[in-house]
Structure 1
Amino acid sequence: MSEMLRVKDLHVYYDAIHAIKGVSFDVQEGEIVTLIGANGAGKTTILQAISGLLKPKEGEIDFLGENLLALPAHTIVRRGVAQVPEGRRIFSQLTVQENLEMGAFSRKDTRNFSKDYEMIFEHLPRLKERRKQMAGTLSGGEQQMLAIGRALMSKPKMLLLDEPSMGLSPILVQEIFHIIENVNKTGMTVLLVEQNAKMALKIASRAYVLETGKIAMSGDAGELAKDPKVQEAYLGG
């Protein structure tokens, strides 16, 4: 496995608030790596820094050997990093099909679209049935599926997922995590930010535990799931 993403000594501020304090981690090609932690620990901030939506004060973010800090957000998408944002952020006034098309706005190879739709509908069959439907009329789970499908339309090398289970019923959470696993099995590298630590640790190969802007623990996801401190803090143990 080769290294895909390397974050080194990252510091991010919101005005005077030091939100991320020297965070370092890496993601290898083909892995699911998860960042877990309480609300406000800085998980979303890290994803936004990788995506170019926030500019860090210090540190390095290398993706496939290229420094992302020098690039604007739209160029980072073209380099192969797609984010599924917290709260889904679908275009509610557009149809499912149009939302998927919006995901491909950065691509030049428009000829393969029909093949890509089929690949997405294979992973997300419910979207196929609703392709002409207004996205705002979908259920929460379907909107989350659409947000994932829209990101996949950019043909990314790496998927950043921000709280994909938020606001979903337990059965839909299972379904969304199953979809993430299936997408990963096609070779997609995944960096997952998730408050549902139990589910995240179940599907990830490695995990980093974030506490108030710092990495408190890291290691094999299965081992961390058995750690008494992790169980007590995040798994209701």
Structure 2
Amino acid sequence: MAMLEVKDLNVYYGMIQAIKGISFEVNQGEVIALIGANGAGKTTTLHAVTGLTPVKSGHIFFEGKDITKVPAHKIVSMGMAHVPEGRRVFAQLSVYQNLKMGAYTRKDKDEIRQTLDMVYEHFPRLEERKNQMAGTLSGGEQQMLAMGRALMSHPKIILMDEPSMGLSPIFVNEIFEIIKKVSAAGTTVLLVEQNAKKALSIADRAYVLETGKIILQGDADKLLNDESVKKAYLGE
């Protein structure tokens, strides 16, 4: 059984159909990439899965349970975390306060402290800046904070939306190394990313979205060498 299964998903914004009957699945332990151009429907797909955007028809299953109509905050408590596009840190709160916000569904203080230690291990810079206001961090540091905040909920699966957007190449490499570490530690990852080459280089499998439809899918290494993918998304 897949950890996350999306079946015949349709999403509309008013009269405009943004997602057109897509189906995909994410198995436990996988890194799955959703790639495609701007406006392809990648972010809308993540918003539908995490309960932030209503679904017109179709179903979303998480660990075998239908979560299509489940509110977003309950989806978080079930074990799904979302790192939004644009990072969305709480600018007026400290790094530490932002991280604590990520654990708001949890009650066990000892386990929360252990997770915080794990986050600091992944992101030493966050520990160095734990008392600094989040709004004063660089873009790369804010991305680390958004990822760390998501990990504080101790998720089974983490959905990441454009983690490399607006970052310098050095930070991009650092972020993708951390994604690999998060995966290696046992967290399943669904990654939306415009940097298709980077995404495919760390993913197990991938789906290519175009105008709300999945037009290609398969093993990431095969898609990395697919001529149509190279031409359309890899700048080759």
Q: How does 1:35-184 map to 2 (within 5 A)?
A: 35-184=34-183
What letter matches 2:28 in structure 1? E
1:111, CA displacement in angstroms? 2.7
What's the counterpart of residue 214 of structure 2?
A: 215
Q: How does 1:174-213 map to 2 (within 5 A)?
A: 174-213=173-212
What letter matches 1:144 in structure 2? Q
Whole-Å separation in 2 of the counterparts to 1:14 and 1:109: 40
Q: Runs ≥4 in structure 1, deviation > 3 angstroms?
A: none
| Runs of 5+ consecutive residues of structure 2 not aligned to the other structure | none
Whole-Å separation in 2 of the counterparts to 1:114 and 1:61: 32
Q: TM-score, normalised by structure 1?
A: 0.98
1:109, CA displacement in angstroms? 1.8
Whole-Å separation in 2 of the counterparts to 1:11 and 1:118: 40
What's the counterpart of residue 17 of structure 2?
A: 18
What letter matches 2:2 in structure 1? E
What letter matches 1:208 in structure 2? Y
What letter matches 1:61 in structure 2? I
SS of the residue corresponding to residue 114 of structure 1 reads helix
Whole-Å separation in 2 of the counterparts to 1:11 and 1:80: 24
SS of the residue corresponding to residue 88 of structure 2 reads coil
Whole-Å separation in 1 of the counterparts to 2:25 and 2:111: 32
What's the counterpart of residue 31 of structure 2?
A: 32
Whole-Å separation in 1 of the counterparts to 2:223 and 2:110: 44
Question: CA-to-partner distance for each residue in 1:77-117, whole Å, 9 max, x for gaps?
Answer: 00011000000000010000000000011112223222111
**Identity over aligned residues, as a percent?**
63
Aligned residues: 236
| Runs of 5+ consecutive residues of structure 1 not aligned to the other structure | none
Whole-Å separation in 2 of the counterparts to 1:61 and 1:108: 27
SS of the residue corresponding to residue 37 of structure 2 reads coil
Q: Is the 8 A contact 2:36 2:208 kept in 1?
A: yes
What letter matches 1:153 in structure 2? M
Whole-Å separation in 1 of the counterparts to 2:140 and 2:63: 32
Whole-Å separation in 2 of the counterparts to 1:233 and 1:49: 26
Q: Is the 8 A contact 2:35 2:206 kept in 1?
A: yes
Whole-Å separation in 1 of the counterparts to 2:75 and 2:200: 27
1:189, CA displacement in angstroms? 0.1
Q: TM-score, normalised by structure 2?
A: 0.99
Whole-Å separation in 1 of the counterparts to 2:76 and 2:112: 17
Could you say what the CA RMSD is over the residues aligned between the two structures, in angstroms? 0.7
